[in-house]
């Protein structure tokens, strides 16, 4: 079966005062129907830009997708007209962003924002759209739908607004939802509610989900597969359990070791990733993680390591030393 989404060698650049930033520097990955894929990385790793590129939401200027194919249900999104792209966005691909207050329109009622989507993408009339909106609010666990539909975003709590965003994302029966840090702005108990809701709905409705996050716990709980990004590139990719238990890239390994865990005895000291994140305007020809890497050897300075098979099936890592990393993590496991 063909994947739902296939990204091939995507490059997105930004022209800044300090030079050209290759925010996404040649990434390729796939998403199968109904699965949840997490993209993890830290600020500046390119995780959000890669997702916005899929939606062709990169502001130009200063940004530009310079290369790559984005095949969604067999069509190359890069070749679509702007109008056709608007149909895809919010139609076949739903979106949930971090800050629902800024992604909802403050001067339109909740109801109007949902029915607008339905009228535009589905050609429903007012009454049918209204009926579907009530249904959608029920789906995302909002009681008292008729009253809520008449309210404005500022009258709702952060968690409630995020439920509305999910309702809008689901409105046109999408095949894929892209969620960019959907719960980062929320408190931990509300985060849990929203993530459980998204998991439940995507499973029930067989919607694929790309979830972009920096939270390693969220990935562990919700993702089938995980893509780890560093300095604009995918450094590791594979089934979540495999990547977590047998990481083959030094960055992934170090990242997982650096977080304190509630389920383990308290450590004497944390084991941080040393050094600073790279300056994307000053990358050289070698591996971008090299200055922080204790496995680095001479060859790492000469070229960027390509993503290659490592460990079990479907497990890829972009590291010349991944066999050495594997010996260490394998021994620890």
Q: How far is residue 319's CA from residue 54's CA, in Å, rounded to a whole number?
A: 26
How many residues of this chain interact with other proteins, rule: CB under 8 A? 47
Residue 240 lies near other proteins (rule: CB under 8 A): yes
DSSP state of 272: P
Taking CB under 8 A as the criterion, which residues in 257-296 touch other proteins?
A: 258-263, 266-267, 269-274, 276-277
Comparing CB distances to other proteins, the nearer of 125 and 274 is: 274
DSSP state of 303: S
Q: How far is residue 124's CA from residue 258's CA, in Å, rounded to a whole number?
A: 51
Span interacting with other proteins, options 100-108, 144-152, 248-256, 307-315, rule CB under 8 A: 248-256
Among 73, 192, 205, 283, which residue sits at the site for other proteins (rule: CB under 8 A)? Answer: 192
Residue 144 lies near other proteins (rule: CB under 8 A): no
Q: SS3 of 57, please? A: coil
Dig out the tokens for 283 from the structure: 């990358």
- Stated as kind and residue range, the H or E segment containing 165 is helix 158-170
Comparing CB distances to other proteins, the nearer of 173 and 187 is: 187
DSSP per position, 284-296: -SS-TTGGG-TT-
CB crowding 136-160: b at 16 or more within 10 Å, else e: bbebbbbeebeebbeeebeebebbb
Query: In the stretch 208-227, what mask flags binding to other proteins with x, by CB under 8 A?
Result: ------xxxxxxxxxx----
Taking CB under 8 A as the criterion, which residues in 38-67 touch other proteins?
A: 42-43
What's the min distance (Å) between Cβ of 44 and other proteins? 9
Comparing CB distances to other proteins, the nearer of 168 and 240 is: 240
Taking CB under 8 A as the criterion, which residues in 155-174 touch other proteins?
A: 157, 159-160
What's the min distance (Å) between Cβ of 80 and other proteins? 35
Dig out the tokens for 226 from the structure: 């995980």
What's the min distance (Å) between Cβ of 187 and other proteins? 4
- Stated as kind and residue range, the H or E segment containing 132 is helix 126-139
Comparing CB distances to other proteins, the nearer of 59 and 266 is: 266
For residue 156, give Cα distances in angstroms to 16, 138, 147, 202, 251.
37, 16, 12, 24, 40
Residue 125 lies near other proteins (rule: CB under 8 A): no
Among 125, 187, 200, 284, which residue sits at the site for other proteins (rule: CB under 8 A)? Answer: 187
* End-to-end alpha carbon distance in the chain: 34
Which residues would be at the binding site for other proteins (CB under 8 A)? 42-43, 157, 159-160, 187-193, 195-196, 214-223, 240-241, 244-245, 254-256, 258-263, 266-267, 269-274, 276-277
């Amino acid at each position: 079966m063909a994947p739902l989404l296939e990204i091939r060698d995507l490059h997105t650049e930004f022209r800044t005062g300090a030079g050209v930033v290759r925010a996404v520097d040649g990434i390729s990955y796939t998403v199968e129907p109904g699965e949840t894929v997490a993209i993890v990385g830290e600020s500046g790793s390119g995780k959000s830009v890669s997702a916005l590129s899929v939606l062709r939401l990169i502001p130009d200027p200063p940004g530009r997708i310079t290369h790559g194919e984005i095949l969604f249900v067999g069509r190359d999104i890069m070749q679509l007209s702007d109008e056709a792209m608007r149909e895809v966005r919010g139609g076949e691909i739903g979106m949930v962003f971090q800050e629902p207050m800024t992604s909802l329109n403050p001067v339109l009622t909740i109801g109007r924002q949902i029915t607008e989507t339905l009228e535009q993408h589905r050609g429903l009339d007012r009454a049918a759209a209204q009926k579907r909106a009530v249904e959608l609010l029920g789906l995302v666990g909002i009681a008292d739908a008729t009253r809520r539909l008449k309210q404005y975003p500022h009258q709702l709590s952060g968690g409630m607004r995020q439920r509305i965003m999910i309702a809008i994302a689901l409105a046109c029966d999408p095949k894929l939802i892209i969620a960019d840090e959907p719960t980062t702005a929320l408190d931990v108990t509300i985060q849990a509610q929203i993530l459980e809701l998204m998991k439940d709905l995507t499973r029930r409705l067989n919607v694929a989900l790309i979830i972009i996050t920096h939270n390693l716990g969220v990935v562990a709980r919700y993702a089938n597969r995980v893509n780890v990004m560093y300095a604009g590139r995918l450094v590791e990719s594979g089934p979540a359990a495999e990547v977590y238990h047998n990481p083959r890239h030094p960055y992934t390994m170090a990242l997982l070791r650096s977080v304190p865990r509630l389920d383990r005895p308290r450590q004497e000291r944390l084991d941080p990733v040393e050094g600073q994140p790279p300056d994307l305007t000053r990358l050289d020809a070698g591996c971008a993680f090299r200055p922080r890497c204790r496995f680095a050897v001479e060859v790492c300075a000469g070229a960027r390591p390509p993503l290659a098979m490592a460990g079990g099936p479907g497990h890829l890592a972009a590291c010349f030393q991944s066999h050495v990393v594997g010996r260490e993590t394998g021994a620890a496991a």
